[in-house]
Structure 1
Amino acid sequence: MLVLLLCGCGAPAAREDGAVEAGRAFEAALASGDYAAACRLLAPESRGQLEQDEKRPCGQALRAQGLPDGGDVRDVDVYGRQALLRLVGETLFLSQFDEGWKVTAAGCVEQPRDTPYQCAVKGA
């Protein structure tokens, strides 16, 4: 029983680390102009919505968004399989899939109280 409790205590930190790592990898891919790598880090629904909205392949569509440089991580909130990653220049939303954390929304800007974030890239 004690072993289960100890394993459970580390799970939230591991999820936070995974979300932060995925968010940083997404930002690094954008910063280096590797839009193919950034697209691989998008959740399938978000990637599909982006391609549908822009009517072009993901890499071209993502480049056209002109996403801001996220910069350093300010904080991360993880709720189960969902995460909110606040960076200096933007906010990312992520979900945990079987193959790891994926970005579900990017280029997000906080809005006034009780109003949803406005995001340049998002799922349907």
Structure 2
Amino acid sequence: MAARSRAMVVVALAALPLAACTPPGDAPAAAVADFYTAVADGDGAAACADLTPAVVATVEEEAGSSCADALTTGELGDDLQDRAQGTTAPRVRVAGRQAQAVLGTDTVFLTRSGSGWLITAAGCTPRPERPYDCEVEA
């Protein structure tokens, strides 16, 4: 099943170029693709590497286990696996050092960190006139 999930993520996001002079939304989209590919592969360590340190700390505190275990096991791991299987090419909006990627099954928030992008919240569901409800956040 992990290979099938990975294939779906790769196919959905394969058209995203990673060249240095790409549109501003491509780099955040690539970070989201990396995250969900790692989730689909069951590679919690790689998925955690795509998160900000504050998010990693919160995930570990709430789960009572390592970030890698939390993202790949239990309720959170199951939820992220489900979301990984339904990803589509994201619609990305960039505003300065922040970005939002809306996929078919998720909304992900990111921040620029050095020369790349890290996830500040994932597994987010919109709620009318209220903040998003996110499974993974600081």
* Other-structure match for 1:97: 113
What is the aligned-residue RMSD (CA, Å)?
1.8
SS, match of residue 110 in structure 1: strand
Query: TM-score with structure 1 length normalisation?
Result: 0.83
Residue number among 63, 68, 73 corresponding to 1:59 in the alignment: 68
1:88 aligned to 2:104?
yes
Aligned to 1:79: 95
Deviations 1:62-99 (A, max 9, x none): 12312122511241111101110000111111111015
Offset from partner CA, 1:36-68 (integer Å, 9 cap, x none): 100101111111111111111111111231212
Aligned match of 2:40 in 16, 31, 43? Answer: 31
Please identify, of 88-97 and 68-77, the stretch whose mean Cα deviation from structure 2 is larger: 68-77
CA, structure 1 residues 61+99, in 2 after alignment: closer, same or farther (shift >3 Å)? farther
Q: Which residue of 1 aligns with 2:131?
A: 116
Tell me which stretches of 4 or more aligned residues in structure 1 moved more than 4 Å.
none
Q: Mean Cα displacement is larger for which, 114-123 or 59-68? A: 59-68
Deviation at 1:17, TM superposition (A): 1.0
Q: Partner of 2:105: helix, strand, or coil?
A: coil
| Gap regions ≥5 residues in structure 1 | 1-9
Change in 2 beyond 3 A, CA 1:83/1:12: farther
Aligned to 1:93, the other structure's residue is in SS state strand
CA contact (8 A) 2:107 2:123 kept: yes
Q: How many residues align?
A: 112
Q: Does the 8 A contact of 2:29 with 2:90 survive in 1? A: no
- Select the structure of larger CA radius of gyration: 1
Three-state SS of the structure 2 residue aligned to 1:116 is strand
